[in-house]
Amino acid sequence: MKAISHRVSILGALFLWTFVSPAIAAKNTIELVTGNDFAPYSDEKLPKGGMLTDIVRTIFNEAGYPVKISFEHWKRGYRDTKFNQFDGTFPYFRAPKRDRDFLFSAPLYETVGRVFVSDNLAISANKISELGGLTLCRALGYSIPRAFRSMVESGNIPVLRAPKPENCYHMIKRDRAQFVVWNDLFAQSVINRISDSKDTLKKLTINWPPSTLHLIVSKKHPNAVSIIETVNTGLDRLRRNGLYIDILNQHRAGN
Transcribe 139-202 into DSSP letters: ETTPPPPGGGHHHHHTTSS-EEEESSHHHHHHHHHTTSS-EEEEEHHHHHHHHHH-TT--S-PE
**Looking at the chain, which residues constitute the CATH 3.40.190.10 domain(s)?**
2-110+212-253, 113-203
Most distant CA atoms of the chain, gap in Å: 78
Q: What percent of the chain has pLDDT over 90?
A: 66
Residue 200 predicted with pLDDT over 80 = no
Q: Which CATH architecture has domain 113-203?
A: 3-Layer(aba) Sandwich (3.40)
Distances (CA, A) of 178 to 79, 154, 254: 31, 18, 30
pLDDT of residue 142: 84
Chain segment 82-100, per-residue pLDDT in tens: 999 999 999 999 988 899 9
Confidence of residue 176 (pLDDT cuts 50, 70, 90): very high
From the candidate CATH numbers 1.10.1040.10, 3.30.110.40, 3.40.190.10, 3.40.710.10, the one assigned to the domain spanning 2-110+212-253: 3.40.190.10
Q: What is the average pLDDT across 200-228?
A: 93
Across the chain, mean pLDDT equals 87
What angle is formed at CA 136 by the lines to CA 135 and CA 141, rounded to 5 degrees? 140
Q: What is the dihedral of CA 241, 242, 243, 248, to 10 degrees?
A: 150
3-state secondary structure of 114: strand
pLDDT of residue 254: 62
| Bigger pLDDT: 29 vs 193 | 29
pTM over 0.85: no
pLDDT of residue 83: 97
Confidence of residue 65 (pLDDT cuts 50, 70, 90): very high
Nearest in space to 55 (alpha carbons), one of 24, 90, 81: 90
